[in-house]
Each structure stands twice: as structure tokens, then as C-alpha cells.
């Protein structure tokens, strides 16, 4: 009973102290698509990901109720860097859902102007506000409405004293009349957060002598509005698992501080409330203590020994890679290794796929080359009786010059196209869908059914798969080349595909471009099947991997190819329009439908 009363009391005090309006809350996940379109339409960098902002620590002057509830120590504020735009996960500051949503729109518009640096936080934000309002004057009423509500949310200058009051008055002046304030008075505490402005990247300096958002951990851009928060961390010496101190008073609030030894490199257990616990901790201590490693042996994704690996087809192919920071290629930076499976055996069409394969063969057989007679030719296999009859009539009537095209010839009506299918078989394909079928199993069925369909249409096609482990080992699995027939051997190689390592997508695309360029067909299609973003161990993640893949896709366009991406990644709408273009990709919402949808997508792509 006492615990129940305590929890209810805690919830009540926290709600009163927060000063928010939960009934009017707006969530980033619901507005992410609109914000992404607005940000890019207003000139924002299209390569930036839209993700949730991490809480920043502030040392502001708090009221008694806020101290009692432990609130107003951390705030989620908007900021951007070279890889992502970060916005609060939830906005409920104002007693209007429309105004809270307007705040999201305003922050996206402001962020389209650029990144804020620590040395010009005050002047930079005012300048960007002026720039936005000058270029988009229609936003002026929305901005004034947001300023009015923001001033009501902020502390009143008369409730503060000394330099804090003068600083608050200066911030209010800068909000009402952007560009009118050049300096803020210094004070012992941090300024109350300005929710209408952008903040510098976490961990880059101080505002008015106070550390704002000190953070030493790294960040990866994630999916659309997906929480991937950075934590404040410190390195400590090795500690004993029995260390720790619990301080509490049953009749009052309690606090605790305890070391929890977690093997970061080896522990992969799932904790449902791990994120919540991490959010509540002000500092996460990290040590290099490995004394417990003997209790569970963990291996990194190491390469198999040569005798157990697939057959290497040659010494490897060196390929360039695009470095977007340098804005140039790194020549011969990647080594792509063609492989042929040693474990594959000739396999007939699986029983489960026979019925859909038969339906697809019947549908695609209508696309195969047909022999058609071409009439009115200067020479050919036989006379064109209609043309001869028409000439005889013209001769009888004495009509001028006679038509000499009196023959007909039988020719093949050939579809002039070739397709290379490139499948991503990275480690993520080992995950299960609906707890009964792996992604790699679905991909194998999709490749098999598409191959059956293309065989019926007689379109030349090739099949390859790829994964990677750093830049010096990009694995390029040979399944079927253009010159090979599709038979039980090819089916066996598809069935032998297993999840590999990581996803260095750019190198695999560049090798596929080389193979397609050798084909004589007029239309050449590069069909990529994947389940996630490009990534690898050696910095090939985030924007670096996305930019390299985008450059490889542009190389394919310049080579006269048609690159098209089919993915089951739920977050693909965030980055694929930037990489492939808005009309050159498709997201399969239900991964189990990939085998059935793949041939249909090919039909729509080649008609």
C-alpha cells in the first residue's frame, strides 16, 4: 500500500512540476515524413537523417516543486550536424496541439539554414531566424505565435535577480526582435533553454561559461525519428562487482549510485528496460575490466579459414570508394573477392515453389521472343502477295513509280534488355520474420521465383550476392552469370546462400556495373535486393556509407544502366530517395510477400 501511494504521489508531483500539456502532445514519429519533406524543400541537406535528439543537461534555477520532482535537469532541444537533424521526440510545451506541431515545423525550417556553432549561438540563431522570415515571409504569423507561447513558458525576468534577470530580458528581446541582441550577460547558471532556436552539437564547448550537453560518446544516424540517444560517459578503472553504495530513507525520496559490470564487447542479453535505466543515469562509467570474459566466450565476425571458405575466383578486384568528406575517390581502396560456393549441390526446384513458379512461367512466357513477318521488304524469304497485288493494280491503272518492296521476311521480336540481380546477404538477413522464417530464406525464394520467370521470358540475366568485412574483403558470391544457363546448379547455389557479414554496398554495385557494361543489350537493369542501410566495420556507416552508395548509383546512371532497389527496410524512405531517387526504389512492407512481388516489380520495370 505504501509503495502504491508513493508511486501515485511521485506521478502527481512530476506532472505538476513538468508544466506540460500531455493531452496536446505531438510526437516526432507522427510528423517525421512531413518534416523531412519540409526540411528538404526549404533547401536542407537531403543526406541528413531525421532522428530523435538526446537530452542535454542544464544547470538552471529551478523552483522547489521542480527540485522535489527531479525535473528540469535535462531538455531535448533541436540541433544538427553533418549527418543528422535531431528534434525532440515529443512536444507538449504549449496548451495547443497546433502550436506544438508548429514548433516542429519551425525547427525544421530553421535547421534548413545550416548548423549552429558554439561561438555564435546567439548571433547565429538570430541571423537564421531573419533569413528564414525574409525568404519565407508566410512563416511570420507562425513565428510570432510561437514567440508569444514561448515567452509565457519561460521564467519571468522579475522572478530572477541580477545578471540572470538581465540575461533573460536579452533573450526575450532577441526572440521578439531577431538581430537586436549581440551579447548575453554571464551568470552562474545556464540560460533557460530557448526552444525556438538550434543548439550546437553535443560536447562542443560552452555557452556563457557553462558546459552544455557534455557528451563523449559517438552517434550513429538511425532511422526516421528512431531513438538512438547518446549517453554521457566516463572511463574508470576496473572495479569490483560488489562495489557500490545504496543510500535511502524510507520516509523520504531516495537516490542510488551503483556499479553494474556489463561486458560491452560480449554481453548480448536483452533487457526490456535497459534504455529507461540508461536515461535515468546521469553518467555511465565504462572500464576495460575483462576478468569475467572466461565465463562466456564470444567471437567477432571473423573470416573462415581458407580450407573452409568458399572457392576464391581469382586474386581479388581493387575498386575505388567515394569519400564525401574529401569530395574525391580513394583509388583501389576496396578489394572485392569473387566467390563460388563449395557447399552447393545441384538442387531441383523446391516443392513449395512449384505452383507459383508454374504460374510465373506461364505469365512471363508471353514476353519471350516471337517470330513475326515483316511485310514490304526489298528482299526476303518469300513474296509479299498483298504488295504484289497492289503493284499489279497500280501498273494496270498506269500510276507513276512502282513500289519495289515486294517481299516479306520473318524476324525475331527480341526484347533488348539484360538484368543483373544483386542480393544483400549481410548478417541482418539472419533475423526472423514472425518468428518462423528468416530474411535469408525469403530472399532465396524470391531469387528462385524471379529466375524461373526470367527463364520463361528468355531475358538474359545474372545473379550475384554480396556481404563484406571491412574494405579489404568484400565478398561477391557468384550464382549465375549471363552466359550460364539457369538449371539445378544455379538453384543449388541459391539454396547454399547463408547470412554473411556487413553491407559495403558501393563496391558491390561498382562491380555489377562492370559486368553489365559488357552486355550488348540496349536496356540494362541493375536490380538490388537489400534489407537495410549500407554499413561496415571500418567507418562505412552513417553518411559515409550512404554517400558512397549514392555515388555508385550515379555511376550506374552515367553508364546507361537502370539501377532499382527493392528493400524490406522500414526506415528506407528516409535515405533511399536520396540514394536512388524517388522513383527508383520500392519498399515491401510485408517481407513475406517479397517472393511474390519481385517478378511483378520486374514486369512493371521492363514494360
Secondary structure letter of residue 205 according to DSSP: -
Dist CA 405 CA 183 (whole Å): 89
Least confident of 85-89, 163-167, 364-368, 454-458: 364-368
Q: Give the whole-angstrom CA distance, residue 166 versus residue 184.
A: 8
- Of residues 356 and 3, more confidence is placed in 356
Q: How far is residue 78's CA from residue 86's CA, in Å, rounded to a whole number?
A: 6
Distance between CA atoms of residues 346 and 20, nearest Å: 65
Integer CA distances (angstroms), 317 to 111, 164, 357, 425, 473, in order: 42, 64, 36, 20, 10
Q: What percent of the chain has pLDDT over 70?
A: 78
Q: Is 286 helix (H, G, I), strand (E, B) or coil?
A: strand
pLDDT at residue number 343: 85
Nearest in space to 580 (alpha carbons), one of 502, 518, 527 = 527
Is the pLDDT at 189 greater than 70? The verdict is yes
More confident position, 68 or 502: 502
Q: Higher model confidence: residue 577 or residue 377?
A: 577
pLDDT tens sequence across 433-459: 877 889 999 999 999 999 999 999 888
Cell numbers linked to 58:
542544464
Rounded to whole angstroms, the Cα distance separating 92 from 120 reads 28
Q: How many residues does the chain have?
A: 607
Q: What does the alpha-carbon distance between residue 130 and residue 26 come to, in Å, rounded to a whole number?
A: 26
Contact 505, 585 (CB under 8 A): no
Coil vs helix vs strand at 527: strand
Residue 227, pLDDT score: 44
Average pLDDT of the segment spanning 403-418: 74
Q: What is the pLDDT of residues 258-282, one digit of tens each?
A: 444 554 444 444 444 555 555 555 5
H-helix or E-strand spanning residue 110: helix 97-111
How far is it, in rounded angstroms, from Cα 407 to Cα 387? Answer: 8
Cα 244 to Cα 109, 238, 247, 302: the distances in Å are: 47, 13, 10, 37
Asked whether the predicted pLDDT for residue 298 surpasses 60, the reply is no
Strands annotated E in 97-187:
none
**Residue bearing the bigger pLDDT, 14 or 139:** 139
Q: Rounded CA gap, 605 and 421, in Å?
A: 13
pLDDT of residue 454: 92
Confidence of residue 402 (pLDDT cuts 50, 70, 90): low
Residue 224 has a pLDDT of 46
**The pLDDT of residue 102 is above 90:** yes
SS3 label, residue 195: coil
Average pLDDT over residues 496-503: 92
Q: Is the pTM of this model over 0.75?
A: no
Question: Residue 208 above 60 pLDDT?
Answer: no
In this structure, whether the domain defined by 337-364+415-469+479-606 belongs to CATH 3.40.640.10 is answered with no
User: What is the predicted pLDDT for the residue at 275?
Assistant: 57
38-67 confidence digits (pLDDT tens): 998 999 888 888 889 888 888 877 777 777
- Mean of pLDDT values over 5-14: 68
CA atoms within 13 A on the CB side of 528: 37
Which strand (E) or helix (H) includes residue 335?
A: strand 328-340
The CA distance from 162 to 188, in Å, is: 11
Q: In this structure, what are the phi and psi dihedrals at residue 96, rounded to the nearest 5 degrees?
A: -155, 125
Confidence label for 305 from pLDDT (cuts 50, 70 and 90): low
- Other CB atoms within a 10 A radius of the CB of residue 549 amount to 29
Angle, in degrees to the nearest 10, between helices 97-111 and 28-41: 40
Show the beta-strand stretches assigned E in 165-219: 206-207, 210-211
User: At 383, is the secondary structure helix, strand, or coil?
Assistant: strand
55 compared with 239, residue with greater pLDDT: 55
- The one-character DSSP state at 496 is T
pLDDT given at position 1: 72
Which residue do the cell numbers 528534434 mark?
Answer: 87
- Mean pLDDT for the chain? 81
Higher pLDDT, 201 or 403: 201
Distance CA 364, CA 599 (A): 9
Domain ranges for the chain: 2-211, 233-295, 337-364+415-469+479-606, 370-413
All three cell numbers of 344, joined, read 552447393
pLDDT computed for residue 529 by the predictor: 95
Question: What percent of the chain clears pLDDT 90, i.e. is strictly above it?
Answer: 46
User: pLDDT tens, 323-341?
Assistant: 998 999 999 999 999 999 9
For residue 292, is pLDDT > 60? no
Question: Is 196:220 a contact under the CB 8 Å cutoff?
Answer: no
Please provide the distance, in angstroms rounded to a whole number, between the alpha carbons at the two ends of the chain: 70
Q: Which residues neighbour 343 within 8 Å (Cβ) at sequence distance 6 or greater?
A: 310, 496
Q: d(Cα 480, Cα 363) in Å, to the nearest integer?
A: 23
Mean pLDDT of 105-126: 91
What integer pLDDT is reported at residue 435 of this predicted model?
Answer: 76
Instruction: Identify the band that residue 285 occupies on the pLDDT scale cut at 50, 70 and 90.
Output: low
Query: In the numeric block, which cell numbers belong to residue 472?
Result: 579489404
pLDDT at residue number 49: 84
Q: What is the pLDDT of residue 265?
A: 41
Contact 546, 47 (CB under 8 A): yes
Among 240-254, 299-313, 358-372, 538-552, the least confident range: 240-254
> How high is the pLDDT of residue 365?
82
Contact 592, 509 (CB under 8 A): no
At residue 317, φ and ψ (nearest 5 deg) are -120, 125
Q: What is the pLDDT of residue 515?
A: 96
Query: Which of 58-62, 169-173, 589-593 comes out lowest in average pLDDT?
Result: 58-62
Neighbours of 389 (CB within 10 A): 10
Angle of helix 162-176 versus helix 121-135 axis, rounded to 10: 20
Q: Which of 221, 231, 111, 223 is nearest to 544 (CA)?
A: 221
The residue with greater pLDDT, 458 or 373, is 458
Amino acid at each position: 500500500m505504501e509503495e502504491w501511494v508513493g508511486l501515485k504521489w511521485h506521478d502527481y508531483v512530476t506532472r505538476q512540476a513538468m508544466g506540460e500539456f500531455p493531452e496536446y502532445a505531438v510526437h516526432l514519429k507522427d510528423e517525421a515524413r512531413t518534416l523531412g519533406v519540409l526540411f528538404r524543400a526549404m533547401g536542407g541537406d537531403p543526406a541528413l537523417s531525421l532522428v530523435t535528439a538526446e537530452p542535454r543537461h542544464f544547470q538552471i534555477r529551478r523552483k522547489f516543486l521542480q527540485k522535489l520532482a527531479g525535473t528540469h535537469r535535462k531538455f531535448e532541444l533541436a540541433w544538427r550536424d553533418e549527418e543528422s537533424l535531431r528534434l525532440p521526440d515529443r512536444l507538449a510545451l504549449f496548451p495547443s496541439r497546433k502550436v506544438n506541431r508548429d514548433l516542429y515545423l519551425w525547427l525544421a525550417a530553421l535547421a534548413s539554414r545550416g548548423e549552429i556553432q558554439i561561438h555564435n549561438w546567439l548571433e547565429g540563431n538570430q541571423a537564421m531566424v531573419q533569413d528564414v522570415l525574409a525568404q519565407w515571409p508566410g512563416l511570420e504569423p507562425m513565428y510570432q505565435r510561437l514567440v508569444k507561447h514561448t515567452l509565457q513558458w519561460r521564467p519571468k525576468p522579475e522572478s530572477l535577480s541580477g545578471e540572470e534577470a538581465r540575461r533573460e530580458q536579452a533573450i526575450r528581446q532577441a526572440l521578439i526582435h531577431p538581430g537586436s541582441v549581440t551579447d548575453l550577460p554571464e551568470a552562474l547558471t545556464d540560460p533557460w533553454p530557448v526552444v525556438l532556436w538550434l543548439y550546437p552539437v553535443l560536447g562542443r564547448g560552452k555557452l556563457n561559461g557553462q558546459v552544455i550537453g557534455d557528451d563523449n560518446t559517438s552517434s550513429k544516424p538511425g532511422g526516421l525519428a528512431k531513438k538512438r540517444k547518446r549517453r554521457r560517459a566516463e572511463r574508470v578503472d576496473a572495479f569490483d562487482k560488489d562495489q557500490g553504495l545504496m543510500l535511502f530513507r524510507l520516509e523520504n525520496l531516495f537516490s542510488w549510485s551503483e556499479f553494474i559490470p556489463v561486458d560491452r564487447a560480449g554481453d548480448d542479453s536483452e533487457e526490456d528496460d535497459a534504455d529507461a535505466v540508461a536515461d535515468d543515469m546521469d553518467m555511465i562509467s565504462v572500464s576495460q575490466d575483462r576478468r569475467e570474459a572466461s565465463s562466456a566466450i564470444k567471437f567477432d565476425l571473423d573470416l573462415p579459414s581458407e580450407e573452409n571458405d568458399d572457392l576464391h575466383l581469382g586474386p581479388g578486384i581493387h575498386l575505388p570508394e567515394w569519400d564525401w568528406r574529401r569530395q574525391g575517390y580513394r583509388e583501389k581502396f576496396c578489394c572485392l573477392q569473387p566467390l563460388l560456393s563449395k557447399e552447393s549441390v545441384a538442387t531441383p526446384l523446391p516443392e513449395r515453389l512449384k505452383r507459383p513458379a508454374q504460374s510465373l512461367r506461364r505469365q512471363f512466357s508471353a514476353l519471350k521472343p516471337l517470330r513475326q513477318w515483316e511485310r514490304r521488304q526489298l528482299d526476303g524469304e518469300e513474296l509479299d502477295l498483298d504488295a504484289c497485288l497492289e503493284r499489279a493494280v497500280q501498273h494496270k491503272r498506269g500510276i507513276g513509280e512502282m513500289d519495289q518492296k515486294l517481299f516479306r521476311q520473318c524476324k525475331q521480336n527480341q526484347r533488348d534488355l539484360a538484368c543483373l540481380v544483386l542480393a544483400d546477404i549481410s548478417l541482418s538477413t539472419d533475423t526472423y520474420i514472425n518468428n518462423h522464417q528468416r530474411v535469408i530464406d525469403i530472399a532465396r525464394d524470391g531469387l528462385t521465383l524471379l529466375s524461373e520467370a526470367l527463364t520463361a521470358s528468355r531475358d538474359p540475366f545474372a545473379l550475384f550476392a554480396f556481404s563484406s568485412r571491412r574494405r579489404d574483403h568484400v565478398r561477391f558470391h557468384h550464382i549465375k552469370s549471363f552466359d550460364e544457363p539457369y538449371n539445378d546448379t544455379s538453384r543449388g547455389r541459391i539454396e547454399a546462400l547463408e547470412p554473411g557479414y556487413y553491407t559495403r554496398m558501393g563496391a558491390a554495385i561498382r562491380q555489377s556495373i562492370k559486368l553489365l557494361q559488357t552486355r550488348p543489350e540496349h536496356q540494362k537493369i541493375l536490380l538490388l535486393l537489400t534489407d537495410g542501410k549500407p554499413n561496415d566495420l571500418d567507418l562505412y556507416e552513417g553518411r559515409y556509407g550512404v554517400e558512397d552508395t549514392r555515388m555508385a548509383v550515379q555511376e550506374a546512371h552515367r553508364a546507361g544502366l537502370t539501377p532499382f532497389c527493392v528493400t524490406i527496410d522500414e526506415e528506407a524512405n528516409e535515405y533511399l530517395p536520396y540514394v536512388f531517387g524517388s522513383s527508383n526504389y520500392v519498399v515491401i512492407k510485408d517481407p513475406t510477400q517479397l517472393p511474390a512481388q519481385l517478378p511483378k516489380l520486374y514486369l512493371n520495370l521492363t514494360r
